[in-house]
Structure 1
Amino acid sequence: MPIRADASASVPASVSAPAPAVASRCSSVGASPVREILALTARPEVISFAGGLPAPELFDSAGMRAAYDRVLAEDPRRVLQYSVTEGDPALRTAVAARLAAGGLPTGPEELLVTAGSQQALTLIATALLEPGDAVLVENPTYLAALQCFGFAGARVVPVPTDDHGIDPDALAEAVARERPKLLYLVPTFQNPTGRTLPSGRRRAVADIAQRHGLWIAEDDPYGELRFGGAPEPWISCYDAAADRTALLGSFSKIMAPGLRLGWLRAPAPLLRACVIAKQAADLHCSTVDQAAAARYLTDNDLDAHLARLRSAYRARRDALLGGLPGALPPGSTWNRPDGGMFVWARLPEGHDATALLRRAVAHDVAYVPGTPFFADSPDPRALRMSFTTHTPPEIGEGLTRLAASWQR
């Protein structure tokens, strides 16, 4: 009878075999350059136009604390326990009511509460995309969406844009050529450009999706931060897109990002798939945070809070726009968004926003170069500036420093 060798005996006890490598998708998708810039500019003396952050001094901390106190006092056993994946019923009811008031009839059963709209996008990618599937995006687009689709193994295809957002003719051509499964858009006060897609183009997008058969992910984290112009209807409102559009929203920009609460509205088949994907990811969002958010919406006037935000952000946008002529090199251009958090600027020919960032940081001021936001053919002269986290006097000082940084 043959004697079997003990395989472990051939390896000396002092030798440690290397652990298996991380998945290839973790090495193929890079870290967020914006997050890295934020770490670089974390010094308190830096005036940063880089982060897309809400102003912390405008958080209704007293109202939020009262909401937490009340739910913990009234129903601690429920709010400290596990809960359903779909989300707190009271919170979904409140979101549904706000959507209906905005012109999109919605029932609580059509909603899934998520860990910010970022998780909603991840769930959509998990539910819809196979490796190699084509996803169309605006060029430029939200940077974390590029990361999300990269992790899903999707083939990201950029669609040209202009000052009014995605070009419907270019979109129709890309859909016919690439046969994508998904189109991702931020139609209102887009990140990074601040642009808003007009209603005619929204209808064209809906018609293209209906005609060619694709899903739309309509990301709307900034829509309630409007301080100029008339509201545009959600793409989800158009009959042509009603059965194929997922609408993503967030409490991060209108209440507090630390809640990590958002929501997803989607047709039943996609919503069910996303619920299952969320069960696998984290079971459900924090019970107590959802309960506190629902209580806050019941006990407080969110519209009054939004009015305060809009007033402050309008003044900050105006301070940034008023100072840009003296802060950027002659020949630079920029837009004037009607809301949101961002201004998109473009330096003159021969300038590189990434190369010049080092000089800006040396003058204790920062912005985000536009290059990382492009899925293809980046514009080295582009840059994104956020106006929300500094007061008008601080913005003025930051622009003075920025002007000094351009000078050799």
Structure 2
Amino acid sequence: MTFAFARRIQHAPSSFLGELFRVSSDPSIISFAGGLPSSALIDTDGLRTAAQDVLTTDPRAALQYSTTDGYRPLREYIAARYGSRLGVPATADEIQITNGSQQCLDLFAKIFLDPGDYVGMERPGYLGAIEAFSLYEPAFTAVPLDREGPKPEAFAKMMHDTPVKFFYGIPNSQNPSGCTYSPERRKEIAEMIAGTSTVFYEDDAFGELFFDKKSRIPVKKFIPENTVIAGSFSKIIAPGMRIGWLYAPQEILSAFNTAKQAADLHSNFLCQQILYRYLSTNDLDSHIHRIVEVYCRQCRLMCELFDDLMPALAHTTPEGGMFLTATLPHDLDAMDVFYEGIRHKVAVLPGMPFFVDGGGTDTIRLNFSNADEEKIAEGMHRLVAVIRELS
């Protein structure tokens, strides 16, 4: 039988995410390909206690339907943390709870995009965002990155030449590159957007994971009315809980809430209550500091092994987050490295899915958060064997 699928699904790019999760589930493969935080750093004891408390105190309320915008005490917690950590005033009414920050991408695109509308992206950009936006059939315009963020000349040209509905960016520990926007570049971009109808979609999944434990000023600080911030507890608490949020002006949240209600009524209310109980009875900053210290060591080890074992491969040196990018010699193709790597029981992610306009055949992304130091050392030696064999 031939099924009459909608045009949007027929034109959507093929997803590499399913392949990543398949590879990551094979215990014989050392995977640097996925985007998983460390399972060893999930506070299972603390979450178990929080779950027991919720299910003991008022289990029927926790297991009932709830409002679409999310558990208000959790939203108040998120809003207060924006004020204390970043100096950005926020209220619970500006926070919408979602099924991870990935759902923010889908619903935001749903309320903003008609087929043919323009979306600005970093080059390279997060493949999960590219896949989510592509279902709404936009036209992408890509702005190249340098070490400080989107290149100003290219960003200015995009703003002048293209009626961009929104620009999607990850200023903190960008995925896939690992680079962080400089304070000057954040302000420069904000000044170019100010006074326009373009929205800056600030994806801040990694903002808590800087190795120096210092916060960076969000773009929203400069242009609050033109910016939304998507956040997530997946990288700092537990991804399986699927709790993220959107922080946005009321007019945007009203439309967003309508789209979310139609999609799923509300996010997992039991997990929202468990998460809030955990946050209100534990020291989140201390927990994050433990994560950061481990990720810092693992990132530094991976960078040192690149320099020692594969000095011909240029790589980024992240200030935080979970990823770095390496550039392959000109005679190597990233897909060949991927497939040969699987044969050698090491997985890296080819760069092509991160480029909306083609490219990335000479780049690979590596995740350093989900493998301990012993596995990183072994995996990098396996990667050396792959590079030498293909060369």
Structure 1 length-normalised TM = 0.92
The match for 2:99 is 115
1:381: Cα distance to partner? 1.2
Number of the residue aligned with 1:354: 335
- Where do 1:248-259 residues align within 5 Å? 248-259=230-241
Please report how far the alpha carbon of residue 211 of structure 1 lies from its aligned counterpart in structure 2 after TM superposition: 3.5
Q: Conserved in 2, the CA contact under 8 Å of 1:134 and 1:157?
A: yes
Match of 2:290 in 1: 308
* Aligned residue number for residue 100 of structure 1: 83
| Residue 236, structure 1, aligned to residue 220, structure 2 | yes
Report the equivalent of 2:381: 400
Give the match for residue 83 of structure 1.
66
The residue that corresponds to 1:275 in the other structure is 257
What letter corresponds to residue 29 of structure 2 in structure 1?
V
Question: Structure 1 CA distance, aligned partners of 2:225 and 2:67?
Answer: 25
* Alignment-mate amino acid for residue 386 of structure 2: S
State the alpha-carbon separation in 1 of the partners of residues 365 and 148 from structure 2.
17
Instruction: Give the Cα–Cα distance (whole angstroms) in 2 for the partners of residues 271 and 320 of structure 1.
Output: 41
SS in 2 for 1:243: helix
Answer yes or no: is the 8 Å Cα contact 2:96–2:245 preserved in 1.
yes
The farther-off stretch of 206-215 and 88-97 is 206-215
Q: CA deviation at 1:407?
A: 2.4
For 2:101 and 2:299, the matched residues in 1 are separated by 24
Amino acid at match of 1:266: A
The answer to whether the 8 A contact 1:327-1:402 is kept is no
Residue aligning to 1:192:
176
1:247 counterpart letter in structure 2? I
Alignment-derived partner of residue 342 in structure 1? 323
Mapping of 1:288-307 within 5 angstroms?
Answer: 288-307=270-289
Following superposition, the deviation at residue 163 of structure 1 comes to 2.0
Shift of 1:253: 0.2
Cα deviation for residue 164 of structure 1 reads 1.9
Aligned residue in 1 for 2:119: 135
| 1:208 corresponds to 2:192 | yes
**Amino acid of the structure 1 residue aligned with 2:226:** R
CA 377–22 in structure 1, closer or farther in 2 if over 3 Å, else same: closer
Check 1:360–1:326 CA distance in 2 against 1; reply closer, same or farther (3 A cut): farther
1:230 is displaced (CA, Å) by: 4.7
Tell me what 1:384 maps to: 365
Q: Per the alignment, in what secondary structure is the counterpart of residue 312 of structure 1?
A: helix
Alignment identity in percent? 38
Deviation at 1:317, TM superposition (A): 0.7
What is the CA–CA distance in structure 1 between the aligned matches of 2:267 and 2:78, rounded to whole Å?
Answer: 16
What's the CA shift for 1:31?
3.3
Secondary structure in structure 1 of the residue aligned to 2:133: helix
Give RMSD over aligned pairs. Answer: 1.4
1:8-157 correspondence runs (5 A): 18=1, 20-40=3-23, 42-102=25-85, 103-157=87-141
The amino acid of 1:149's aligned partner reads F
What secondary structure does 2:88 align onto?
coil
Contact 1:34 1:368 in 2 (8 A): no
TM-score (norm 2): 0.96
For the residues of structure 1 that align with 2:278 and 2:24, how far apart are their CA atoms? 33
Aligned partners of 1:334 and 1:345 also within 8 Å: yes
Q: Name the structure 2 match of 1:371.
A: 352
Provide the C-alpha distance between the structure 1 equivalents of 2:24 and 2:280, rounded to a whole number of angstroms. Answer: 38
Instruction: List alignment gaps of at least 5 residues for structure 2.
Output: none
Query: Following TM superposition, by how much is the alpha carbon of 1:19 offset from its aligned partner in structure 2, in angstroms?
Result: 6.6
8 Å contact kept, 1:229–1:338 = no
How many equivalent pairs are there? 388
Is the 2:199–2:226 contact (alpha carbons within 8 Å) kept by the matching residues of 1? yes
1:41: how far off?
Answer: 5.2
* Matched-pair contact (CA < 8 Å) for 2:119–2:166: yes
Counterpart-to-counterpart distance in 1, 2:373 and 2:73:
38
The 5-angstrom pairing of residues 310-325 of structure 1 reads 310-325=292-307
Instruction: Provide the residue aligned with 1:7 in structure 2.
Output: none
Compute the displacement of 1:229 (Å).
7.6
The corresponding residue for 2:266 is 284
Partner secondary structure for residue 141 of structure 2: strand
CA distance in 2, matches of 1:111, 1:336: 33
Amino acid aligned to 2:264: D
CA–CA separation in structure 1 for the residues paired with 2:52 and 2:90 = 30
Contact 1:183 1:215 in 2 (8 A): yes
